[in-house]
Homo-oligomer: A and B are copies of this chain.
Amino acid sequence: MSGEKPEQIIGDETGLQRALSYVNHVFADRTETHLTMDDRHTNRHGTLHGGIFTMLLDSACGFAASRALSDDADQKVITLTLTVNYLAQPKSDHVYAVGKVSRAGGSVVYSNGEVFDDEGTLLATGSGVFKRVRG
């Protein structure tokens, strides 16, 4: 997270975004997916639900893959696989995932992601493999 201006801010594109209120900041070299926690995002222990970490990482890593394949991040990709490791719970309500591409081939793109809170604590790491959808 920096003062740098995103190329695109995508916040109301899908039903899931509206249901959970997360926002994608697309940069040339990464995507950040931001979320401010409320009751919709918690598990039965009152902490951030594992599925939310994963959704943030899938979104950040997938948009980074789209952006690596197209200047407007409009290239359709599908997730082949995603792995998430859960390290810690956030100490701030605002959390964000940062997704970066480690390799973009002709049809397959690899991304890595990290989730942070506002104290800079690493909360989760993830990696995904995405496939370009042609046509």
**Interface set of A (CB-CB < 8 Å, partner B):** 13-16, 18-20, 38-45, 49-52, 54-56, 58-59, 62, 76, 78-88, 102-103, 107-108, 110, 112, 122, 125, 127, 129, 131
Contacts and interface: CB of A to CB of B under 8 A. Distances in A.
A125 B82 CA distance: 11
B80 A108 contact: yes
Contacts of A52: 16, 55
A49 B128 CA distance: 15
A16 B42 contact: yes
A52 B129 CA distance: 17
Contacts of A103: 87-88, 122
Contact of A14 (B44, B55, B88, B102): B44
Work out how many copies of this chain go into the complex.
4
A39 B79 CA distance: 20
B108 A131 contact: yes
A122 B78 CA distance: 17
Contacts of A85: 80-81, 102, 110, 127, 129
B82 A54 contact: yes
Nearest to A123: B103
Given A15-B42, A125-B110, A80 B76 contact: no
Contact of A38 (B15, B107, B127): B15
